[in-house]
Structure 1
Amino acid sequence: MFLQRNVVSQLAALLTVGVILAMATGHPWLAVALPSLRAGWRSIATSVWIFGVDSVRRRAVICGLFGVAMGCWQVAATAVVSVAAMVVASQLLGRAPNMERFAAVMTTLLGGVSLTALLGLVASMAALMTRVRIWVHPTLPDILDGTLKWKRQSPARTGWNHAVFVLATSLTVPAVGACGYVLIQPGSIARALSVFALTWLTVIVSYGRLAGRIIADHPSQCWGSSSTG
């Protein structure tokens, strides 16, 4: 709990500094870069750790890719908050935001989300084919006491399995993209509503089926004595 509060405090401080720098220089990316890099670096570092120490290579690759995708997800999510903070600050100061520079930031944001979806889909299909169950978290080295193996004396509180965010994003992004393409085509309101409802139903059903087969409910299901499911 202390670690989570510490991270939130650091992100808030970096966001504040970034917004001040962005407003002073006119470069919105300054408000995005500082907190986004802080948000994603731990997940990326954990993935590098997994790649380096896990002797079960298929698990290392799959969980490592999920960790990288989670880092991209955190960068993108923090970028959304940063952009919103910039817009609010611009309104409070009576300044019109530079939309051209904001467009560049949003392009980077979309790239991060797309990369999350791509890595997540590849890793999910690999996990499904090799029957690896996934449990990843930015603080995984601390949770597993640096051994990549769950022990009975490991912390009782393990936090959320961050793989759920990656899997949900990986299914939602391509589905929403396909839905958007269909909706911009000429057609009736009823058709548009049907496509929209069918898209979300497909995402929910697909998530339920995939999550039940590849997402671990507890670290021991991924990092226990039995390395794969």
Structure 2
Amino acid sequence: MMNRDAVALDDPVGESLRGHHAHLARRIGRAATYVPEVATFSAVSADPDAAEWADLARLLGPGGFADMFSCPAIPPSDWEPVFVLEGRQMIRPADSRTDRLRAEPGRGVVELHAEDVPEMLDLVARAQPGPFWPRTRELGAYLGIRDNGTLVAMAGERLRPPGWTEISAVCTAPEARGRGHAATLVDALVARIASRDERPFLHAAEANTRAIALYERLGFETRRHVTFRGFRTP
């Protein structure tokens, strides 16, 4: 069960851009990236040559940012390193029947729409869950929890390799932490993903031990350790 179709998770960005997110992709040859303000993730083939890196550089433009996510390939030496972050990829081993038993979303969970984007961006600025842009919501469904009308927690769907959906942007406003909002939202997303006969997965920074502990309590297991890297084109 743990390894069913898991090979798609070895290249989650590339698989998403070639498949479910093809309508949000820009592409030259085998190099691909998302359209602006959706995501900065980029993808190349498993063994890219100089021409493929040149194609990606053309897509991004001079000084463009290439978030290579968990891609192990290293670009040419004239690409400027921006960050290196150790992390892990986690998947949910439970079968979909079990997940469907939890399909009732927690009380107070609402679906977020285009008109909610300003509040979502404000929450991200305060909670800092990771990259989130004005059009990131277009990657999938996003759920939130409000307190007296104010958005205090959210989580959503990001990468979509075949058979899988990534849970991302799990965050809670500082003043609303400790109330179980993150667990409620992740459970609701797990149920939604399982209802499509897909499997949930996610990524976490290795240093974020609190988040990893939460995901483990919610039934996620580490599939592999990864290194996230970002670069700027020449």
Q: Could you tell me the TM-score, scaled by structure 1's length?
A: 0.29
Larger radius of gyration: 1
Q: Which structure shows the bigger proportion of residues in helix conformation?
A: 1
Higher strand share: 2
Q: TM-score scaled by structure 2?
A: 0.28
Q: Which structure's relative contact order is higher, taking Cα pairs within 8 Å and 6+ residues apart? A: 2
